[in-house]
Chain A
Amino acid sequence: MKRNWIAATAMVAAATLLTACSGGSSSGASDEKVTLTYANWSEDQTPAMQQIATEFEKANPNITIKVQTLPWTEYWSTLQVGAAGGTAPDAFWMLADHFREYAKGGQLLDLSDTVKSNKIDMSVYPKAVSDSYTYEGKSFALPKDFDTNGIWYNKALFDAAGVKYPDDTWGWQDVQDAAKKLTDPAKGVWGIAAPIDSQGGFYNTILQAGGSIINPDGTASDFASPAGVAGLKFWTDLQAAGSSPTLKQLSDTEAVSMFENQKVAMYFSGAYWALRLYKNPELKDKVDVAPLPQGVKRATVTSGIGNAGYAGSKHPEELKKFLAFLGGTKAAEIQAATGTVLPAYKGTQKPWLDAMPEFHLQVFIDAIDYSVPLPVAGNASEWQGLAAQYLAPAWDGKKPVQDAAKEYQDAVDQVLAKK
């Protein structure tokens, strides 16, 4: 019976060996065939990513790039589980608010040497974006693109209501007045979409009021200060005036869809919608974009996607090569020429503007001068999730803005206090 036991163990051992072999390492020789995966979350951008990958393969015939697109709703959980389990994609998109956890956890490939050896000049990227991918002085991702905010508006609805288009002279009151005039309940048209939106919405107005969202050392938030409350009130006033669909309506139908369906005349949001709006034949000739209005001062938050590499990748050298390519001019130009996004690389943005000449997209580039990085202190994904819960009563007019802002601030501060 001992022999049988040995036979059984041998079978199991053989099976384990087989799997071990198939997963064998193969880094080293540079002419060896190597496949790298490159993950993103955007169907819209996949064709451009594929084109960049093909361009890279041409220059590096031994490396094959497999572009993977995951739905946004699954992207982060898949990446997190993959990174912890050693099966994460080699290269992937990173966002500033998730970055710290990954860098702190040692999951990202340190690109400092790559930057040095490839003589990559970090000043070609918007500082607000490249800074957000630096952890303890080391670069872990090269900026892919960036976005600032502007007022997307529907010219046809402005014409119908006889309201002057927004321009760079507009202040807060101009938005409030125009939104009121543009609203026509009979037609089911509203002047503006006022959802509880941080990046496209109240962060910008808080900064415009002279506030700071989160203090510089990342220990406390600034929602209940006079500037914070003023920035929130900009939106609750629009709700109170009936110039926007209600929160419930905007929960059922996203603000961007409302704008696409020509139900709202103005929508504060980022450069990233440009291609989607441009490709829509209904909207192409009706839509344009203007700078955000001025409050006490001009301001917009900015952020951008970074291309990061997985520290557990089996082919770190090839991966570094690919990431350097993604951060270079060629990749930026492909993104710009296809109109996909606003590339982060300085001087490569012109083709993006030219790809959609009907839109005044220069607005987004000019906004770099007064842009502020999206705040990402502490466990950002935790405190960011609190906005809707605490601010909804203020948006619905059930609670004074000051009170809601104070409760929101306390809840965020509590998260920030946890190391």
Chain B
Amino acid sequence: MTNVATKFVRRPTGRRTGASTPSGWWALAFIAPATIGLVVLYLWPFLSTLIKSFQDVPAFGPATFVGIENYTTLIGDGDFWKAFGNSALYTAIILLGIPLAIALAALIEQVGRGRSIYRVLFFLPVVTLPVAIGMVWRFIYNGDFGLLNYVLSWFGVDGQFWVADPRFTIFAFGVVGIWMGLGINLIILGAGLQAIPKALYEASALDGAGRVRQFFHITVPLLSPSIFFVTILNVIAALQMFDLIFIMLRGVNNTALADSKTIVYLFYEKAFVQFHQGYGAAIAIVLLIVIMIATALQFRLQRSWVFYG
């Protein structure tokens, strides 16, 4: 009887991997362009960076293996810790932009006609060249004839040198960073808002819930997966901030630069200005680890606050 059963049930004679069949090979050929791109543009540079981080790499010419020297130097390097602190502060400020984005997304959702006009307006900075943004904000922040100080003077507030005084630079960048990222955040959160069933609002209204109560008890919990997603993206982008400081402080002999460097700026300076590519690579690897830890931490924490219907 058992023989009968085996007759009708086709069993694989061996472990078959996808690639060993003709169609499997074709599949490989078709994914090859994407895979090769991934390997050449991401995996190879990553491995090469990892290797360089254990080497002393001059501007040109052969590299020498130095073990973990780059990393031990890094730990004792005051400039690195200062840059680390600046990046952390900047990231914290950027996160303050998320509640703002939630509130704005909810307000735009309330708008009947012309909703897309608001979306476009908020999205414009996202598609503007960072160089142009940097130039415009440099003017706005200028201590002597900047727009911001002019407006503050209406209220009798003394202006500051927002991007020339190391006490304020990171905060100044933070404001620009929030403004630049708002468009993307609004699109993601807006999509999340539209997925919330309208019936919930109607039902709660019948039960006597006001707008504010609805916002905190329906909107925010049901939006939490989108908020979580936006937070992950923002933290990663903020830890990689480079363009603003490059455009607003470098190249103009700004004396606030020394105290305003971020991790990626320090990486750029070590690798491309001072010709220490190995040390630069070590900074990049440490940044990667920091981003991985920050992201893992958020995934751990989300269990307690993200509500998946």
Which A residues contact B (CB, under 8 angstroms)?
1, 4-5, 7-8, 11-12, 72-73, 76-77, 80-81, 83-84, 101-102, 104-107, 195-197, 247-255, 379, 381-382, 385, 388-389, 392, 395
Query: When the two chains form their complex, are residues A251 and B32 in contact, meaning their CB atoms are under 8 A apart?
Result: no
Contacts of A250 in B (CB 8 A): 253, 255
Q: Taking the complex as formed, is B252 at the interface, i.e. its CB lies under 8 A from any CB of chain A? A: yes
Nearest-CB distance from A98 to chain B (Å)? 9
Q: Taking the complex as formed, is B163 at the interface, i.e. its CB lies under 8 A from any CB of chain A? A: yes
Query: When the two chains form their complex, are residues B29 and A11 in contact, meaning their CB atoms are under 8 A apart?
Result: yes
In the assembled complex, the Cα of A42 lies from the Cα of B20 at a distance in Å of 58
Known: A4-B26, A247-B255, A379-B275. Contact between A101 and B60, CB under 8 A? yes
Nearest-CB distance from B20 to chain A (Å)? 7
In the assembled complex, the Cα of A255 lies from the Cα of B59 at a distance in Å of 32
Nearest-CB distance from B256 to chain A (Å)? 6
Chain A residue at smallest Cβ distance from B250? A73
Nearest-CB distance from A309 to chain B (Å)? 15
Query: When the two chains form their complex, are residues B164 and A251 in contact, meaning their CB atoms are under 8 A apart?
Result: yes
Provide the B114-145 mask, 1 if CB < 8 A to any CB of A, else 0. Answer: 00000000000000000000000010011110
Provide the B53-87 mask, 1 if CB < 8 A to any CB of A, else 0. Answer: 00000111100000000000000000000000000
Q: Taking the complex as formed, is B21 at the interface, i.e. its CB lies under 8 A from any CB of chain A? A: yes
Query: When the two chains form their complex, are residues A252 and B59 in contact, meaning their CB atoms are under 8 A apart?
Result: no
Query: When the two chains form their complex, are residues B142 and A253 in contact, meaning their CB atoms are under 8 A apart?
Result: yes
Known: A251-B164, A252-B143. Contact between A196 and B253, CB under 8 A? yes
Query: When the two chains form their complex, are residues A253 and B246 in contact, meaning their CB atoms are under 8 A apart?
Result: no
Chain A residue at smallest Cβ distance from B166? A392
Query: When the two chains form their complex, are residues B254 and A251 in contact, meaning their CB atoms are under 8 A apart?
Result: yes
* Given contact pairs A80-B59, A379-B274, A388-B258, a sample of 11 additional A-B residue pairs in the complex whose CB atoms are under 8 Å apart: A1-B22, A80-B272, A102-B60, A248-B161, A248-B164, A249-B143, A250-B253, A251-B254, A252-B144, A381-B274, A385-B269
In the assembled complex, the Cα of A255 lies from the Cα of B255 at a distance in Å of 13
- Residue among B29, B146, B257 with the highest chain A CB neighbour number at 10 A: B29
In the assembled complex, the Cα of A195 lies from the Cα of B256 at a distance in Å of 13
User: Which parts of B161-175 form the interface with A (CB within 8 Å)?
Assistant: 161, 163-165
- Which residue in B146, B256, B276 is a CB contact (below 8 Å) of A251? B256
In the assembled complex, the Cα of A118 lies from the Cα of B276 at a distance in Å of 38
Query: When the two chains form their complex, are residues A249 and B251 in contact, meaning their CB atoms are under 8 A apart?
Result: no
In the assembled complex, the Cα of A227 lies from the Cα of B11 at a distance in Å of 92
In the assembled complex, 13 residue pairs joining A and B whose CB atoms fall closer than 8 Å, in A order, are A8-B28, A77-B273, A80-B59, A80-B275, A84-B59, A84-B60, A102-B60, A105-B59, A105-B60, A248-B165, A249-B164, A254-B252, A254-B253
In the assembled complex, the Cα of A7 lies from the Cα of B247 at a distance in Å of 49
User: Which parts of B2-56 form the interface with A (CB within 8 Å)?
Assistant: 20-22, 25-26, 28-29, 32, 36
Query: When the two chains form their complex, are residues A251 and B161 in contact, meaning their CB atoms are under 8 A apart?
Result: yes
Contacts of B257 in A (CB 8 A): 388
Contacts of A252 in B (CB 8 A): 138, 141-144, 146, 161, 163-164, 254
Contacts of B276 in A (CB 8 A): 382
Contacts of B274 in A (CB 8 A): 379, 381-382, 385
Chain A residue at smallest Cβ distance from B275? A101
- Which residue in A1, A196, A249, A379 is a CB contact (below 8 Å) of B144? A249
Query: When the two chains form their complex, are residues B161 and A105 in contact, meaning their CB atoms are under 8 A apart?
Result: no
In the assembled complex, the Cα of A392 lies from the Cα of B268 at a distance in Å of 23
Chain A residue at smallest Cβ distance from B276? A382
- Which residue in B25, B59, B246 is a CB contact (below 8 Å) of A102? B59
In the assembled complex, the Cα of A106 lies from the Cα of B62 at a distance in Å of 11
Nearest-CB distance from A206 to chain B (Å)? 18
Chain B residue at smallest Cβ distance from A9? B29
Query: When the two chains form their complex, are residues A251 and B60 in contact, meaning their CB atoms are under 8 A apart?
Result: no
- Residue among B22, B28, B274 with the highest chain A CB neighbour number at 10 A: B274
Tally of contact residues, B, Cβ under 8 A: 41
Binding site secondary structure of chain A: helix
Contacts of A102 in B (CB 8 A): 59-60
Contacts of B275 in A (CB 8 A): 80, 101, 379, 381-382
In the assembled complex, the Cα of A12 lies from the Cα of B37 at a distance in Å of 13
Nearest-CB distance from B170 to chain A (Å)? 15
In the assembled complex, the Cα of A4 lies from the Cα of B252 at a distance in Å of 59
Contacts of B58 in A (CB 8 A): 101, 104-105
Provide the B252-292 mask, 1 if CB < 8 A to any CB of A, else 0. Answer: 11111110000000001100111110000000000000000
Query: When the two chains form their complex, are residues A106 and B61 in contact, meaning their CB atoms are under 8 A apart?
Result: yes
- Which residue in B21, B25, B138, B272 is a CB contact (below 8 Å) of A77? B272
Contacts of B253 in A (CB 8 A): 195-197, 250-251, 254-255, 388
Chain A residue at smallest Cβ distance from B246? A73
In the assembled complex, the Cα of A250 lies from the Cα of B253 at a distance in Å of 8
In the assembled complex, the Cα of A73 lies from the Cα of B165 at a distance in Å of 22
Contacts of A382 in B (CB 8 A): 273-276
Nearest-CB distance from A223 to chain B (Å)? 17
Nearest-CB distance from B178 to chain A (Å)? 22
Contacts of B141 in A (CB 8 A): 252
Contacts of B247 in A (CB 8 A): 73
Known: A8-B32, A252-B164, A381-B273. Contact between A106 and B144, CB under 8 A? no
Query: When the two chains form their complex, are residues B59 and A101 in contact, meaning their CB atoms are under 8 A apart?
Result: yes
Chain B residue at smallest Cβ distance from A72? B251
In the assembled complex, the Cα of A102 lies from the Cα of B246 at a distance in Å of 24
In the assembled complex, the Cα of A197 lies from the Cα of B142 at a distance in Å of 20
Query: When the two chains form their complex, are residues B25 and A8 in contact, meaning their CB atoms are under 8 A apart?
Result: yes
Query: When the two chains form their complex, are residues B143 and A4 in contact, meaning their CB atoms are under 8 A apart?
Result: no
Query: When the two chains form their complex, are residues B60 and A107 in contact, meaning their CB atoms are under 8 A apart?
Result: yes
Query: When the two chains form their complex, are residues A4 and B164 in contact, meaning their CB atoms are under 8 A apart?
Result: no
- Which residue in B20, B21, B28, B143 is a CB contact (below 8 Å) of A248? B143
Query: When the two chains form their complex, are residues B144 and A251 in contact, meaning their CB atoms are under 8 A apart?
Result: no
Query: When the two chains form their complex, are residues B60 and A106 in contact, meaning their CB atoms are under 8 A apart?
Result: yes
Contacts of B32 in A (CB 8 A): 8, 12
Nearest-CB distance from A185 to chain B (Å)? 13
In the assembled complex, the Cα of A252 lies from the Cα of B165 at a distance in Å of 9
Contacts of B165 in A (CB 8 A): 248
Known: A101-B59, A107-B60, A252-B144. Contact between A76 and B272, CB under 8 A? yes
In the assembled complex, the Cα of A278 lies from the Cα of B269 at a distance in Å of 35
In the assembled complex, the Cα of A197 lies from the Cα of B213 at a distance in Å of 59
In the assembled complex, the Cα of A363 lies from the Cα of B214 at a distance in Å of 76
A-B pairs with the 9 shortest C-beta distances?
A105-B60, A251-B164, A389-B258, A8-B29, A251-B254, A248-B161, A382-B274, A77-B272, A248-B164
In the assembled complex, the Cα of A183 lies from the Cα of B243 at a distance in Å of 37
Query: When the two chains form their complex, are residues A105 and B28 in contact, meaning their CB atoms are under 8 A apart?
Result: no
Contacts of B272 in A (CB 8 A): 76-77, 80-81
Query: When the two chains form their complex, are residues A392 and B258 in contact, meaning their CB atoms are under 8 A apart?
Result: yes
Contacts of B28 in A (CB 8 A): 8
